[in-house]
């Protein structure tokens, strides 16, 4: 595995962790009343963390220049770009 692939794997790992944290924060709504300030806080902060996690875990192609040149896209058998 090339250096770039290893870096992207770390980025994806951080993404998964953020998705889990965001989800757990979102679950905080179950301890609150509907639309109370605490409800909105849990929902909004959880959303922010979760969406950032989705971007890092699933949309990691944004960190690869070849994607922006239309030369590579993540897929089965080509999850990571080769090192230049």
Partner 1 sequence: MKSLSEQREKGFLYDWELERVPERMTRPWWDIAFVQIGLFLSGFMLMTGGLFAGCGWPWWAVFLWLLIGNLVILALYILIGHIGVKERLPLAFIAEKVFGPKGAKAFNFAVLLGALAWGALGIHMLALAITDLVGISIYITAWIAALFVWLSSVAGYKTISLLSKISIPWFLVFLFVAMIYYGFQLNWNAWGLKTAYGGVFPTFWDGVTFVVGLNIMAAFLQPNSSRYARSTKDFAKASALSVMYGMVIMHFLAATLAAYALSPEEPFADPFKIGLRTMGIVGAVMVWLLIWTTADNDFWHISLSMVQLYPKIRRWIYDTILVVASVIIIYSGILYRYIDFATFLAILWPAVPGILIAHYYLLPRLGVDPNVMISRRISVNWIAFGAWLLGAISAYLTKTAGKPFPELVALVIALIVYTLGMLAYRSRR
Return residues touching partner 1 (CB under 8 A).
Answer: 19, 23, 26-27, 29-30, 34-35, 39-40, 43-44, 46-47, 50-51, 54-55, 58-59, 61-62, 67-70, 72-78
What are the tokens at 74? 């993540």
Burial of 69 (0-12, 13-18, 19+ CB in 10 A): exposed
Query: What angle do helix axes 37-58 and 3-27 make, rounded to 10 degrees?
Result: 160
Partners of 78 in beta bridges: 75
**Is 9 or 43 the residue whose CB approaches partner 1 more closely?**
43
Least gap, CB of 27 to partner 1 (angstroms): 7
Least gap, CB of 64 to partner 1 (angstroms): 12
């Amino acid at each position: 595995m090339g250096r770039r692939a290893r870096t992207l794997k770390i980025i994806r790992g951080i993404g998964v962790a953020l998705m889990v944290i965001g989800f757990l924060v979102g679950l905080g709504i179950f301890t609150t009343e509907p639309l109370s300030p605490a409800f909105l806080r849990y929902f909004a902060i959880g959303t922010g963390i979760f969406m950032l996690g989705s971007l890092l875990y699933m949309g990691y192609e944004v960190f690869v220049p070849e994607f922006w040149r239309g030369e590579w896209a993540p897929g089965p058998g080509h999850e990571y770009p080769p090192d230049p």
